Structure formats: structure tokens, C-alpha cells
Structure 1
Amino acid sequence: MTNTSAFYLARADESARAARDTSLDNVRARHLQSETVWRAMAARLLHGERLRVAAAAKKDETS
């Protein structure tokens, strides 16, 4: 499995489409919850990437 923000965001979009396309309330709720989780995972990964870039830049400045 690929752990990239693009992968996570694609799964979130897929969940959003599935939620939109279903007529069952409980299934829609499950897909919307899944979308929320995928987007949170993408945000967490992007935040970590930004922190690593900032730390590397700071390290380069002090070197």
C-alpha cells in the first residue's frame, strides 16, 4: 500500500462519491465517516512532511 497524501485523498474522494451515490442513510453515514478519516490521515501526513522540510531547511541554515 502506498502511504502518500494523494492516495489518501483519492480514497477520501472515492468515499465521498459513494456517499453521494447511495440512498441508504446508514451506508451514507459510513462513507462520510470514512471520508473524514481519509482526509485526516492525509492532513496528518502532509503536516509531517512540512515539519521534515522545515527541519531540514533549519539544519541547512545552521550548517
Structure 2
Amino acid sequence: MSTQHEFYLERAREARASAGAATLDNVRKRWLQAEARWTEMAARSERGDKMRAELIVEKANARVA
């Protein structure tokens, strides 16, 4: 897991906590939307990390062959 992925997850946790502490509905909604976006970015980052790792393995296998 990359540092970037962890950063996004941490921001999502912070947004969720802020949403829980919000007293106004519109502010809570904004924080929940922010959490969803951070979570989406974390998932994208994780997919990218996985694709890079697979590509490295494929290239290493190609060199061996």
C-alpha cells in the first residue's frame, strides 16, 4: 500500500469524523461527500499500485523468458 493511498484513507477518516461532529445538515452532507471523494481516490490509488506491481512482474517474467 502506497503512502498516497494511506493519505487518502486518513483524509476520509477525518472527513467522516467531521461529519459526525457537524451540527448543521448541510455541513454534515458536505463532509460526507468529501469522505466519499477521498475514499474514491484511495481506491483509484490502490488500483494503480496493483497495476504497477503486475506490470513489474510481467516485465521481469519477460526478461527471464
TM-score (norm 2): 0.89
By how many angstroms is 1:47 displaced? 0.4
Q: Which runs of 4+ in 1 moved over 3 A?
A: none
Q: Which amino acid aligns with 2:60?
A: D
Q: Number of paired residues?
A: 61
Alignment RMSD? 1.0
TM-score, normalising length: structure 1? 0.92
Where structure 2 has 5 or more consecutive residues not aligned to the other structure, the ranges are none
Partner Cα separation in structure 2 for residue 6 and residue 62 of structure 1 = 31
**Greater CA radius of gyration, 1 or 2?**
2
Q: What's 1:27 paired with?
A: 27
Structure 1 residue runs of 5 or longer lacking an equivalent are none
